[in-house]
Amino acid sequence: MRKIYCLSMLTFFLTGPLLYAQEDTARKWSLIGYGGIGYGVVKNDNQPDYNLNSNNGAFLLNYRFNEELGLASGIGVNELTGNAFNELGNFYHERTLLKVPLLLTINSETSAGFRVIGNLGFYGQNIIKDAYRFQTSIQEDIYSGWNFGAEFGLGFIFPVLDRVSAGINYQGQSDFSKFESADNAGISDKQKLQSLNSVGLLLIFTL
């Protein structure tokens, strides 16, 4: 959670100058923050598949083309943990991913300020921490590098202040490219994360 907090502060300072933009332009911009918990399935080519718990969050800068459609990008962090086994034995897996999404956002207002928002698009993500804790050893950086995938989100929000809305959010994603194990990792395999589903809180600041 400390990584997610630092991520939020960095996003705030990087986008702060937008607060001073002209009013007719500023109202087209918004900051979107969401975080949630869930789980996904690690699919391996040669080793057994296994589940990992997810603790994730993201901060996006969204530009609205009109009242319904927009385009958003930013950064996110996904911390994965779980127990499993492979040919080397039982292990506890900890992985942290840094994600950069590019999303089409959809906004629909129903009644009394209640809104349904959605997003759909693609992401690239990089492994910034990867540790397999076996009974007698810890192996790090077995997998590294970037991979890519697609994601979908759906949120339900209510206004809480003049330019602030909050609500609940569902986010789902699946990788379509794989991470490959290092040459000296002790195993030779490729893997990707599929069917990652998470539910959490959503916060939107209109600039």
Residues in Cβ contact with 102 at an 8 Å cutoff, skipping those fewer than 6 apart: 71, 72, 73, 121, 122, 123
Output b/e per residue, 122-140; b: 16+ Cβ within 10 A.
ebebebeebbbeeeeeebe
Q: How many CA atoms lie within 13 A of 138 on its CB side?
A: 7
C-alpha dihedral (108, 104, 122, 114), degrees to nearest 10: -20
- Residue-level pLDDT at 27: 67
Q: Give the C-alpha separation, 54 to 59, whole Å.
A: 17
Q: Tokens representing 68?
A: 């319904």
Residues in Cβ contact with 84 at an 8 Å cutoff, skipping those fewer than 6 apart: 42, 48, 50, 51, 90, 91, 93
Amino acid residing at 187? I
* Cβ proximity of 115 and 157 under 8 Å: yes
Please identify every stretch of the chain with a pLDDT value under 70, giving residue numbers as ranges. Answer: 1-27
Domains of the chain plus CATH, in order, are 2-206 (2.40.160.20)
Taking the alpha carbons at both ends of the chain, their separation in whole angstroms is 26
pTM confidence score: 0.84
- Residue-level pLDDT at 11: 45
